Chains A and B, each alone.
Chain A
Amino acid sequence: MTGPALAAFTEHLSRSGNPSSLHGSGRRARMVVEESREKIASAGGAHLSEVIFTSGGTEADNLAVKGLYWARHGANSRRKRILCSSIEHHAVQDTVEWLVAHEGAEVTWLPVDSEGLVDLEVLERDITADPETVALITVMWANNEIGTVQPIDDVTRLARRHGIPVHSDAVQAFGSIPVDFAGSGLNTMAVSAHKIGGPVGVGALFVGRSVSLTPVQHGGGQERDIRSGTLDTAGIASFGAAAEAATSDLPGEAGRLAALRDELIGAIQRAIPEASLSGPEDPGGYSRRLPGNVHFTFPGCEGDSLLFLLDMAGVESSTGSACTAGVPRPSHVLLAMGLTETQARGAQRFSLGHTSTVSDVEALMAVLPETYASARKAGMAGHTSSIQTAATISRSGNTPGTQRQGER
Chain B
Amino acid sequence: MKVLAAMSGGVDSAVAAARAVDAGHDVVGVHLALSRMPGTLRTGSRGCCTIEDSSDAWRACEKLGIPYYVWDFSERFKEDVVDDFIAEYAAGRTPNPCMRCNERIKFAALLEKALALGFDAVCTGHYAKVIEDKDGNPELHRAADWAKDQSYVLGVLTHEQLRHSMFPLAETPSKAEVRAEAERRGLSVAKKPDSHDICFIPDGDTRGWLEERIEMTDGDIVDAEGVAIGRHRGANAFTVGQRKGLQLGRPAADGKPRFVLEIRPKENKVVVGPERMLAVDRMKGIKVSWCGNPIDEVASGTEFDCMAQVRAHGDPVQARASVSIDDDGQQLLVVDLIEPMRGVAPGQTVVLYQGTRVLGQATLDSARSTERPELAESLS
Contact = CB atoms under 8 A, between A and B. Distances in A.
Interface of A: 302, 304-305, 307-309, 311-312, 322-329, 374-375, 377-379, 381-382, 385-391, 393-394, 397, 399-401, 403, 405-408
A377 B116 contact: yes
Nearest to A382: B75
Interface in B306-325: 323, 325
B293 interface: yes
Interface stretch (B49-57, B204-212, B224-232, B235-243): B49-57
Interface string B23-62: 0000010010100001100000000011101110010000
A400 B298 contact: yes
A405 B28 CA distance: 32
B72 A381 contact: yes
A386 B112 contact: yes
Q: How large is the interface on B (under 10, 10 to 19, 20 to 34, 35 or more residues)?
A: 35 or more
B293 A403 contact: yes
B67 interface: yes
B108 A387 contact: yes
Nearest to B41: A324
Nearest to B132: A408
Nearest to B117: A378
Nearest to B328: A397
Interface string B207-219: 0000000000000
20 contacts: A305-B116, A308-B117, A326-B33, A327-B49, A327-B70, A377-B116, A378-B112, A378-B113, A379-B113, A379-B116, A385-B109, A385-B112, A386-B112, A389-B156, A389-B161, A390-B158, A391-B287, A394-B331, A400-B299, A401-B299
Contact of A399 (B31, B136, B329): B329
B53, B111, B158, B331 — which one has the most chain A CB atoms within 10 A of its CB?
Answer: B158
Interface of B: 28, 31, 33, 38-39, 49-51, 53-55, 58, 67, 69-76, 103-104, 107-109, 111-113, 116-118, 135-137, 156-161, 163, 286-290, 293-294, 298-299, 323, 325, 328-331, 361
Contacts of A308: 28, 69, 117
Contacts of B113: 305, 378-379, 381
Contact of B293 (A382, A390, A405, A408): A405
Given A387-B111, A406-B137, A323 B39 contact: yes
A3 B158 CA distance: 58
Contact of A389 (B58, B103, B299, B325): B103
Contacts of B287: 390-391, 394
B70 A385 contact: no
A326 B112 contact: no
B103 A304 contact: no
A407 B137 contact: yes
Contacts of A305: 113, 116-117
B156 A397 contact: no
B210 to A, nearest CB: 23
A317 to B, nearest CB: 13
Contacts of A385: 104, 108-109, 111-112
Nearest to B289: A390
